[in-house]
Amino acid sequence: MHDILINWAPQETRVALIENGAVQELHIERTLERGLVGNVYLGKVARVLPGMQSAFIDIGLERAAFLHVADLHTSGYNGRSDTTPPVPIEKQVFEGQTLTVQVVKDPIGTKGARLSTQVSIAGRMLVFLPQDNHIGISQKIGSAETREQLRSRMQALVAVGDEASREGLKEGTGGFILRTNAEEATDAELADDIAYLRKTWSRIRQRATSQPPGSLLHQDLSLAERVLRDLATEQTQAIRIDSKLQFDQLAAFGAAYTPTSIAKLVHYKGERPIFDLFGIEEEIARALARRVDLKSGGYLIVDQTEALTTVDVNTGGFVGARNFDDTIFKTNLEAALAIARQLRLRNLGGIIIVDFIDMVREDHQQAVLAEFRKQLGKDRTKTTVSGFTQLGLVEMTRKRTRESLAHQLCQPCPTCDGRGQVKTARSVCYDILREILREARQFDPKEFRVLASAAVVEMLLDEESSHLADLSAFIGKPISLSAEAAMNPEQYDIVLL
């Protein structure tokens, strides 16, 4: 069982999933960083450009959006055979026409958003294609046999929905694509998603007939709403939110789309900030750190790079077991649990390499691997784990669903430019001495003045003073020093006076 805490502010929403008193997942959404992708608008054709086979569409934004002929649902580009000529855009749309369009690419720089008339609406396990009728299955789902079983189940569930629509109970028709996380879904879960998506599309169509051109017809759910749609399950005990306004909005949303979640909604009225209840602020700080301490005294080192993430396990100060092999085994078992949690907490995706401490015994290796797979089984994001390689490493992948916590909250250090280290003061001193010698061969100033950080200037005046004096005598010019507080450890400037 778990609880979900929602900390809401106008600029940012933060969500923490708590299980056994510990934070298992963190989700953050910032108001100003929400993109437009997925939004559905009622657009008006402002201009058709036959030469570019595209059109500019006014959707109420600062700049007109861009619609290419290939993104028209009725276009000859969609599903046509190679022998069929494409239908030109000027024969499909005209100036002043209103179109229901969806943003597929955010505006960048001076370019407007890119649009499509092929609307798709994402649900928890399904993607709804209201203008199509086929059922697609993600190729990443299991075997061909599994995909066919899912297709048969979906066809039966969709048929039930269509029957209901004929009775006037709900919006019918439309195609679906099953996402990878639908592989283990029950019929009830799939049916709930179908109902939610059809209800959403019905609402979009109703707005399209009543709103003026340039109106926003549908926006992808906010993080707080996605809690009810995606995170809340039968295992959720309570969903606590610290904003009365958002509590009321969530209750209304839940009543319309996720009725089973309403009873779990709680308005938190405590004086202490809601994230202080479980030390979540401290947990966020730890989730951004490179080192993760284990209760036994061991620790993990987590390094996130462009290509992959590495996790190194160390015994540290743990000496509690009877012998060395047991110490290593127990540290690795504890690390397996901690690593699985850190992957969820930091939302690390892509290729992940885990370097457990080397184990001599085969049964210890298998026990650690089994525990690691068991803990990863709690992850709602798809993971795959290989066994130990010849080098004793465990290779795994975790599907990327959103930016990692570090990428959301941090940026590369401007001093080291993301290298994670800077030159020593001595290295910078020697760079400066070489640069002065180089410039002395080209220029003939009265004096060289060095501007650098306090640590570098101090070293030039102390440990490197003899080298500085030798250089000054060699070039026959005085060298003065000036400490600049604003300069980082690697920065320096040489001024010719």
Which tens digits make up the pLDDT trace of 229-286? 888 888 899 999 999 999 999 999 888 777 778 889 999 998 889 998 888 999 899 8
- More confident site: 453 or 261: 453
Torsion of the alpha carbons at 133, 137, 139 and 145, rounded to the nearest 10: -120
Continuous segment of H or E residues that includes residue 376? helix 362-376
At residue 319 the predicted structure's pLDDT band, cuts being 50, 70 and 90, is low
Domain 288-405: which CATH number of 1.10.220, 1.10.287, 3.40.630, 2.60.40: 3.40.630
Look at residues 251, 199, 194 and name the one whose alpha carbon lies nearest to residue 225: 251
Percentage of the chain exceeding pLDDT 70:
94
Query: Does position 497 have pLDDT exceeding 70, yes or no?
Result: yes
Distance CA(127)–CA(197), nearest Å, equals: 8
Query: What residues does CATH 3.30.420.60 cover in the chain?
Result: 2-34+222-280
Distance CA(12)–CA(127), nearest Å, equals: 27
Q: How many residues does the chain have?
A: 497
Look at residues 97, 130, 145, 278 and name the one whose alpha carbon lies nearest to residue 203: 130
Question: What integer is the mean pLDDT of 449-465?
Answer: 93
- More confident site: 189 or 302: 302
Query: Does position 62 have pLDDT exceeding 90, yes or no?
Result: no
The pLDDT of residue 76: 44
Q: Mind listing the pLDDT tens digit for each residue in 98-154?
A: 999 999 888 877 788 899 999 999 887 899 999 888 888 877 677 778 888 888 888
Tell me the pTM: 0.73
Which segment, 83-97, 164-178, 214-228, is predicted with the most confidence on average?
Answer: 214-228
2-34+222-280: CATH class: alpha beta
Continuous segment of H or E residues that includes residue 285? helix 280-287
Question: What integer is the mean pLDDT of 76-82?
Answer: 47
- Averaged pLDDT score across all residues of the chain: 87
Beta strands of 69-227 (E only): which ranges?
Answer: 98-105, 114-116, 121-122, 126-129, 135-137, 175-178, 216-218
CATH number attached to the domain at 119-216: 3.30.230.10
Q: Domain 425-496 belongs to what topology?
A: Hypothetical Protein Ychn; Chain: A, (3.40.1260)
Query: Does position 84 have pLDDT exceeding 70, yes or no?
Result: no
The pLDDT of residue 122: 86
Percentage of the chain exceeding pLDDT 90:
51
The pLDDT of residue 162: 56
End-to-end Cα spacing for the chain: 72
Query: What residues does CATH 3.40.630 cover in the chain?
Result: 288-405
Look at residues 317, 325, 312 and name the one whose alpha carbon lies nearest to residue 297: 317
Fill in the DSSP letter of residue 98: E
At residue 397 the predicted structure's pLDDT band, cuts being 50, 70 and 90, is very high
Query: What residues does CATH 3.40.1260.20 cover in the chain?
Result: 425-496
Question: What integer is the mean pLDDT of 164-168?
Answer: 46
